[in-house]
Amino acid sequence: MPSIRCSALACALLVAAPPSLAAGAEPVLPPSQAYQTRDSWRQPVPPFRIAERTWYIGTAGLSALLVKTEAGAVLIDGGMPQAADMLLRRMADLGVAPGELKLILHSHAHADHAGPLAAVQRATGARLLSNAESAVLLARGGSNDLHFGDGMLYPVPRVDRLLMDGEVVELGGMRFTVHFTPAHTPGSMSWTWEDNSTDETRTGQRGGKPLRIAYVDSVSAPGYELIENPRYPRIVDDYRRGFAAVRALPCDLLLTPHPDASGWAPADPAASHPSPMTCDAYAERAERALDAQIEKQREARR
């Protein structure tokens, strides 16, 4: 692979990602020829059950969720563009044929989460749901990003339905509510649904208590210009609005696009969730980090 310069976003990815897994795991997915990420973002891990109908099928460092219903399956996020074939294999492993994937939901339109959606969409015929802000960036394949320019591009998916804040998407008796949480991108979306808890991994039993799951988008501002940003003048106001929305979510179990951000460790099947976090704590930590980042930028201007 030829030497490439680390873009602002690629550098942020390299810093944020955890180290790669030990030898003996599945091979790491191939790197991009255009930008660099840590191996762990492309490191497959065995799928594991989150709740009765909800499965983790992503990599060690990037989440992808599969929810199985009586009328087909729902994919939420996908990871890097290289993950498409892995996702299809994981679905097959869990008994979901390509044509049984009916809906694709997502968090935000960056390459590390929306990267494989176009390929999965072509392979399955699933419908992709988004909002107006994210649909614009998806249609550009990540180009002309507000903060990263053309630093990380990906294949363009087709958006089949635009959603409004608070809208409910139903499939096979499962109800997914979208919440606009613009604390990472203007189009950031978080999703909530109710499943049943399960301790199947320990006792073989299923069908536990109702569990309100919140898949909450990223709430960071990696390298963002937060003061007098000419392309995004009200960026801080949007972040405050996003934090408030996250705090108000029904949230028995928190999952995030970067699993380690909410205490998950997908690479460890024996302890995949060693440090549970609440939605309130997730938002509180992010708001403190944003305040510190704003103050640092103010100091730099003095």
Whether 112 is a known active-site residue: answer yes
Is 113 annotated as catalytic?
yes
Domain tally, the chain: 1
In a domain, 1, yes or no: no
35 is catalytic: no
pLDDT of residue 199: 67
Q: Which domain holds residue 290?
A: 8-301
Q: Which residue, chain included where needed, has tokens 């008994």?
A: 95
Instruction: Please report, for residues 76, 202, 272, the alpha-carbon distance to residue 207 in angstroms, rounded to integers and kept in the order given.
Output: 22, 13, 20
Answer yes or no: is 84 within a domain. Answer: yes
User: In this structure, is residue 162 part of a structural domain?
Assistant: yes
The pLDDT value recorded for residue 33 is 77
Q: What is the 3-state secondary structure (H, E, C) of the chain?
A: CCCCCCCHHHHHHHHHCCCCCCCCCCCCCCCCCCCCCCHHHHCECCCEECCCCEEECCECCCCCEEEEECCEEEEECCECHHHHHHHHHHHHHCCCCHHHEEEEECCCCCHHHHCCHHHHHHHHCCEEEECHHHHHHHHCCCCCECCCECCCCCCCCCEEEECCCCCEEEECCEEEEEEECCCCCCCCEEEEEEEECCCHHHHCCCCCCEEEEEECCCCCCCCCCCCCCCCCCCHHHHHHHHHHHHHCCCCCEEECCCHHHHCCCCCCCCCCCCCCCCHHHHHHHHHHHHHHHHHHHHHHHC
pLDDT of amino acid 190: 99
Residue of 35, 56, 215, 224 marked catalytic: 224
**178 within some domain:** yes
234 belongs to a structural domain: yes
Catalytic residue among 106, 147, 179, 184: 184
The pLDDT of residue 6? 45
* pTM for this prediction: 0.90
CATH number at residue 75: 3.60.15.10
Find the catalytic residue in 56, 77, 106, 110.
110
Q: What is the spatial distance between Cα 177 and Cα 229, in angstroms, rounded to a whole number?
A: 31
pLDDT of residue 84: 98
Residue 46 lies in a domain: yes
Instruction: Let me know if 224 is a catalytic residue.
Output: yes
pLDDT tens, residue order, the chain (302 aa): 222 334 444 444 444 444 444 445 799 999 887 778 888 899 999 999 999 999 999 999 999 999 999 999 999 999 999 999 999 999 999 999 999 999 999 999 999 999 999 999 999 999 999 999 999 999 999 999 999 999 999 999 999 999 999 999 999 999 999 999 999 999 999 999 999 998 653 334 456 899 999 999 999 999 999 999 999 999 999 999 999 999 999 999 999 999 999 999 999 988 999 999 999 999 999 999 999 999 999 999 98
**179 has catalytic annotation:** no
Active site residue 258: yes
Does residue 2 belong to any structural domain of this protein? no
Domain assignment present for residue 211? The answer is yes
Which residue in 3, 261, 239 sits closest to 113, CA to CA? 261
Selected catalytic residue, list 35, 77, 112, 238: 112
